[in-house]
Amino acid sequence: MALHTLEFELETTSGTASIPAPTHVGVTGSSDLEVILEPAPAGKVAVRIVTPVTGFDELWKRVVKKFTDETALAGARIEINDNNATPAVVLLRLKQALTQATAA
């Protein structure tokens, strides 16, 4: 399985939420993914995605942007190890990771 790495940053100007401590959810099983959320200074969210899927870079950006907008995330490092998850699953795991990080 050839893997494709995608890295990008999202500027965050109005966000207020932050990550208190590193957290991890999910497993890189078929149609699933693991998400690692780490604290980072406010102003940007840095994203690194490792996935077997190519040709969906724009879609990944849209999904992560929706997550940061909806959760008003101010700063974080997001690492994703994907195994063919659908956008719905990606968004769900991101939200679960944030809930877990802020509950800790």
Partner 1 sequence: MTHHDTRKNWRTRAADTAARKEAAAPLFAKGKEVLAKDTVALLEAVIRAGDVINIEGNNQKQADFLADCLNQVDKSKIHDLHMVQSAVPLKSHLDLFENGIAKKLDFAFGGPQAARVAEFIENGKIQLGAIHTYLELFGRYFLDLTPRVSLVCAYKADRKGNLYTGFNTEDTPVIVEATKFKDGIVIAQVNEIVDELPRVDIPGDWVDAVIESPRPFFIEPLFTRDPANITDNQILLAMMCLKGIYGEYGVTSMNHGIGFLTSAIELILPTYGAELGLKGKVCTHMIINPHPTMIPAIEEGWVEAIHCFGGELGMEDYVASRPDVFFIGPDGTLRSNRAFAQTAGHYAADMFIGGTLQIDKYGNSSTATAGRVAGFGGAPNMGCDPKGRRHPSGAWLKCGAELPSLDTLTGSVPRGKRLVVQGVETFGEGRKPVFVDELDAWKLAKNANLDIPPVMIYGDDLTHIVTEEGIAYLTRCKDMETRMAAIRAVAGFTEIGLSAKPEETKALREAGIVKTPSDLGIDPARATRDLLAAKNMRDLVTWSGGLYNPPARFRNW
Q: What is the binding site for partner 1 (CB under 8 A)?
A: 31-32, 53, 56, 59, 62-63, 66, 84, 86-89, 91-93, 95-96, 99-100
Choice between 48 and 61, CB closer to partner 1? 61
Burial class (CB in 10 A: 0-12, 13-18, 19+), 77: middle
**Least Cβ distance, residue 21 to partner 1 (angstroms):** 17
Q: Cα separation of 73 and 44, whole Å?
A: 9
Q: Cα separation of 11 and 68, whole Å?
A: 10
Residue type, 22: P
**Least Cβ distance, residue 37 to partner 1 (angstroms):** 13
**Least Cβ distance, residue 82 to partner 1 (angstroms):** 11
